Amino acid sequence: MTTVRVGLDLAKNVFQVHGVDEHGAVTFRKQIKRVQLSAFFAQLPPALVGMEACGGSHHWARVLAAFGHEVRIMAAEFVRPYVKSNKNDELDAEAICEAVGRPNMRFVSVKTVDQQSVLSLHRAREAMVSARTAEINRVRGLLAEFGIVVAQGLRSFMRDVPAEVDA
């Protein structure tokens, strides 16, 4: 029995893998620790590997693709219908394995390290702008308690607040 399809449920420390052959018969179900995952997939013959999109999915997709596996990432909402009964890691891996083999499944393209780096910078900048906006609104609210009304926006804040505070 050769494993042709693998469902990988990603986690922080212990991963769950579920493999099936060309007839859909289970070839393995096991938990694997993070430090053992690369070695496990390195010895496995090339297979179709599915995983849910999450924090580490692009990293693991690149690692497993380097071993010759065809890796596909799916949004969790598309995998959910394939989970049987109560949700747990073992059933999630089985559902991922089932979902990745569906002909009409939609997949997320695997991002390169450079693509992930740019997206990380965008997310960090967005968080900083959001924090700045929140702080400006907080100061505007405090100033309003003293009867000082400042218009919305960064430019108005930078222009009007120094003049109001110095007065």
Question: 155 pairs with which residues across the strands?
Answer: none
Q: Give pLDDT, residue 65.
A: 96
Reported pTM:
0.78
Based on the fold, state whether residues 86 and 123 are members of the same structural domain: no
Burial class (CB in 10 A: 0-12, 13-18, 19+), 44: buried
pLDDT digits 0-9 by tens, 1-50:
687 999 999 988 999 999 999 998 999 999 999 999 999 999 999 999 99
Q: Give pLDDT, residue 161.
A: 85
Alpha-carbon gap, residue 150 to 52, rounded angstroms: 46
Q: Give pLDDT, residue 1.
A: 65
Based on the fold, state whether residues 147 and 82 are members of the same structural domain: no
Based on the fold, state whether residues 136 and 156 are members of the same structural domain: yes
Based on the fold, state whether residues 134 and 105 are members of the same structural domain: no
Residue where a domain stops, chosen among 67, 95, 111: 111
Please report which confidence band the pLDDT of residue 86 belongs to, taking 50, 70 and 90 as the band edges.
confident
Alpha-carbon gap, residue 34 to 90, rounded angstroms: 16
Element (H, E) at 135: helix 113-144
Based on the fold, state whether residues 107 and 141 are members of the same structural domain: no
**Which domain covers residue 137, as residue numbers?**
114-166
* CATH label of the domain that carries residue 15: 3.30.420.140
17, two tokens? 């893998």
User: Which residues are CB-contacts of 166 (< 8 A; sequence separation ≥ 6)?
Assistant: none
- Name the domain count of the chain: 2
